[in-house]
Amino acid sequence: MLALTFSTGVADAVGYLGLDKVFTGNMTGNVVILGMAIAGADDLPVVGPLIALITFMLGAAVGGRVLRPVASGWTTHSTVLFGAVGLVMAGLSITLFALGGKPPAPFDLVVTAFLAAVMGLQASVARHIAVKDVTTVVVTSTITGLAADSWIGGGKNQAWFRRTAAILLIGAGAGVGALLLMLHIGWGIALTAAITLVVTAIGHVAGRPHHASTP
């Protein structure tokens, strides 16, 4: 889940810097951008963030539907869904390389839609696996928990390593994504695809996937 948090940072950097100021994983950012754009702020998009928000929700809904009857934790369903995420990302990266760079409008919105949809699917699977403080797509609640449970907040014995790692990794992913954009927009998506597929393979083996259903 921490590896996927890193890859989300990469994907969001690609979306914001390479696809006209659109977050593909951080939907809070898109809602804020939409609010400012609707209020008339200059140079802020409306269509891209709106498409990302809708398709992210669709992807999350698909994940919720598939995982509803399945017990929490890593299952065979998790493997299949994460594998689908990785394969779609791989297809997007190949498409971007074939196009030679940033796709022209309106095809950039198609890329945004697919990328946000699989990020929504990833988020729903991560939610079902339920690793505390690691949603893979946002770290606001993680930052809140880290601060509230710190010694300043009067807490103790918190999962500081997991929380700190999630915060640092999503930031590091964004930095790597920005650097890869200097080479080609496809490299960032290719990296997210590779990370997702490796995580899928490791999780399938180490997570002991099963088909158990909830009572």
Most confident among 14-23, 100-109, 206-215 (mean pLDDT): 14-23
The answer to whether 70 touches 212, Cβ cutoff 8 Å, is yes
SS3 assignment, position 99: helix
182, part of any domain: yes
Give 79-89 pLDDT, tens digit per residue.
999 999 999 99
**Single pTM value for the model:** 0.89
Average model confidence (pLDDT) for the chain? Answer: 90
Cβ contacts of residue 103 below 8 Å, gap of 6+?
Answer: 95, 96, 110, 111
Nearest alpha carbon to residue 22 among 93, 92, 113, 100: 113
Question: How far is the C-alpha of 174 from the C-alpha of 168, rounded, in Å?
Answer: 10
213, part of any domain: no
Instruction: Give percent of the chain with pLDDT exceeding 90.
Output: 67
214, part of any domain: no
Question: How far is the C-alpha of 105 from the C-alpha of 83, rounded, in Å?
Answer: 29
Question: How far is the C-alpha of 130 from the C-alpha of 75, rounded, in Å?
Answer: 12
Q: How high is the pLDDT of residue 212?
A: 47
Domain span holding position 168: 2-206
Give 155-168 pLDDT, tens digit per residue.
777 778 888 999 99
pLDDT-based confidence at residue 93 (cuts at 50, 70, 90): very high
SS3 assignment, position 50: helix
Per the DSSP assignment, residues forming a β-bridge with 213 are 70
Q: How high is the pLDDT of residue 113?
A: 95
pLDDT-based confidence at residue 213 (cuts at 50, 70, 90): very low
Give 173-195 pLDDT, tens digit per residue.
999 999 999 999 999 999 999 99
211, part of any domain: no
Q: How far is CA 10 from CA 61, 75, 159, 194, in A?
A: 23, 26, 25, 12
Q: What is the DSSP letter of 150?
A: S
Gyration radius from the chain CA atoms: 17
Question: Sign of the CA dihedral 51, 20, 98, 173?
Answer: negative
pLDDT-based confidence at residue 140 (cuts at 50, 70, 90): confident
The CATH number of the domain holding residue 46 is 1.20.1250
Domain count for the chain = 1
212, part of any domain: no
